[in-house]
């Protein structure tokens, strides 16, 4: 079996360009998403300890914190924290996601024109989708003050 | 910027990359699945109602859960190997650990979902 050389290239030799920044961002955003998941599930576990909810509701609490619940009605900071959590999560997930899609598109588009077009399209998608998401998150009564 | 693709689809499917290749393919497929899910999720938030009917289907939930868990666990492996490049020599062992964790977590989750869906 032929020996294969591993891609063991230190960060200092990779060059500091857009691709390196996005490579680093993809890894860091993934770690950020894990952090959000851990904080969300821990928060939901605290709620479940007080309300005795089941696993499905626990996960729902983790990702769509229902701050209209009577449990937190007298604690307005929960309202802001819940919305900030969901907004941060959506922004991080969509940024990570659109860059992943861009990497896949780059593998299939070789011409500079198509690559530029796909980048522009994905940036427009990112802006529109997040504008809708943030508007809904901050105006809905589902995750907000009743 | 100029990628020359000299491998056609048939050759690509015959490529024997085994574990790492399978993980690479599933990571991309799961990522695209999650991207579609996120898009429909935002549409549902914006008021497109019929999407909720799809979300209520337990088969759909099992599929989404596969995408979420595989992408998350495989992504953690990729991040660890990228941030500590010396571990790349143990790549195949790490992939075996990854599959073990995935099967355990996903198996339990599918069991819970199907038991709830079938009224157990």
Angle at A55 between CA A52 and CA A59, to 5 degrees: 110
More confident residue, B11 or A65: B11
Is A98 in a helix, a strand, or coil?
helix
Q: How many CB pairs lie under 8 A apart between chains A and B? A: 64
Residue A5 located in a structural domain: no
Query: Is the residue at A130 inside a domain?
Result: yes
- pLDDT for B101: 94
Residue A54 has, within 13 A of its CA and on its CB side, a CA count of 4
Q: Distance between CA atoms of A130 and A87, rounded to whole angstroms?
A: 9
Question: What is the domain extent for residue B90?
Answer: 16-117
Reported pTM = 0.77
The number of CA neighbours under 13 Å toward the Cβ of A112 is 1
User: Is the model more confident about A5 or about B113?
Assistant: B113
Q: Which residues from chain B sit within 8 angstroms of residue A133, using beta carbons? A: 42, 45
In a domain, A1, yes or no: no
Contact predicate A89/A33, CB 8 Å: yes
Looking at per-residue pLDDT, the higher value among A120 and B13 belongs to A120
Report chain B residues touching chain A, CB-CB < 8 A. Answer: 1-5, 28, 31-32, 34-35, 38-39, 42, 45-46, 72, 75-76, 78-79, 82-83, 85-86, 88-89, 112, 116
Mean pLDDT by 10 residues, chain A (146 residues): 55 70 84 86 73 68 62 66 83 89 85 88 90 82 46
**With 90 as the cut, is the pLDDT of residue B102 above it?**
yes
pLDDT mean across residues, chain B: 82
Q: Tally the domains of chain A.
A: 1
User: Which has more pLDDT, B15 or A91?
Assistant: A91
Burial (CB count within 10 angstroms: exposed 0-12, middle 13-18, buried 19+), residue B118: exposed
The pLDDT of residue A145 is 40
- For residue A61, being part of any structural domain is answered with yes
Contact call for B42 and A132, based on CB within 8 A: yes
> Which of B78, B79, B81 to mutate: most A Cβ within 10 Å?
B79
pLDDT at A10: 64
The reply to whether B31 falls in a domain is: yes
CA distance B83 to chain A (A): 9
Q: What is the pLDDT of residues B40-95, one digit of tens each?
A: 877 776 666 677 777 778 888 889 889 999 999 999 999 888 888 888 888 889 99
Q: How far is B108 from chain A (nearest CA, A)?
A: 12
Q: Count of CB atoms within 10 A of residue A25's CB? A: 14
User: What pLDDT score does B74 carry?
Assistant: 93
Of B1, B39, B72, the CB nearest to A115: B1
Chain A residue numbers with beta carbons less than 8 Å from the beta carbon of B82 are: 27
Query: Residue A4: inside a domain, yes or no?
Result: no
Nearest 5 degrees, angle CA B108-CA B68-CA A122? 175
Look at chain B and report how many structural domains it folds into.
1
Q: Provide the residue range defining the domain that includes A107.
A: 21-139
Q: Is residue B107 part of a domain?
A: yes
By C-alpha distance, the chain B residue nearest A100 is B31
pLDDT above 80 for B7: no
Q: Are A36 and A85 in contact (CB under 8 A)?
A: yes
A125: which residues sit within 8 A by CB, 6+ positions away? Answer: A98
Structure confidence at residue A44 (pLDDT): 74
Task: Determine, yes or no, domain membership for B36.
Answer: yes
Per CB-CB distance under 8 Å, the chain A contacts of B33 are: none
pLDDT of residue B37: 85
Average pLDDT over residues B99-104: 94
Domain contains A14: no
Looking up residue B33, the CATH number of its domain turns out to be 1.20.1300
For residue B1, the model assigns a pLDDT of: 46
- Asked if residue A13 belongs to a domain, the reply is no
Residue A2 lies in a domain: no
């Amino acid at each position: 079996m032929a020996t294969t050389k591993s891609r063991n290239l230190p960060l200092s030799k990779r060059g500091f360009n857009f691709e390196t920044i996005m490579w680093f961002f993809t890894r860091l955003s993934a770690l950020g998403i894990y952090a959000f998941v851990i904080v969300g599930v821990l928060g939901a576990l605290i709620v479940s300890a007080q309300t005795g909810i089941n696993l499905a509701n626990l996960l729902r609490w983790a990702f769509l914190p229902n701050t209209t619940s009577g449990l937190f009605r007298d604690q307005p900071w929960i309202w802001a924290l819940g919305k900030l959590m969901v907004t941060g999560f959506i922004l991080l997930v969509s940024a990570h996601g659109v860059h992943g899609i861009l990497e896949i598109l780059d593998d299939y588009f070789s011409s500079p024109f198509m690559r530029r077009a796909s980048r522009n399209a994905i940036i427009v998608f990112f802006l529109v989708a997040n504008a809708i998401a943030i508007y809904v998150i901050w105006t809905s009564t589902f995750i907000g003050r009743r | 910027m100029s990628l020359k693709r000299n491998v056609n689809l048939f050759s690509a499917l015959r490529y024997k990359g085994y574990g790492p290749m399978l993980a690479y393919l599933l990571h991309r497929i799961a990522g695209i699945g999650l991207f579609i899910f996120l898009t429909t999720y935002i549409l549902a938030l914006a008021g497109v109602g019929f999407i909720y009917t799809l979300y209520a289907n337990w088969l759909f939930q099992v599929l989404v859960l596969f995408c979420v868990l595989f992408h998350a666990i495989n992504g953690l492996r990729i991040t660890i190997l990228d941030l500590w490049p010396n571990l790349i020599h143990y790549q195949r062992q790490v992939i075996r650990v990854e599959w073990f964790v995935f099967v355990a977590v996903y198996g339990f989750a599918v069991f819970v979902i199907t038991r709830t869906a079938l009224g157990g």
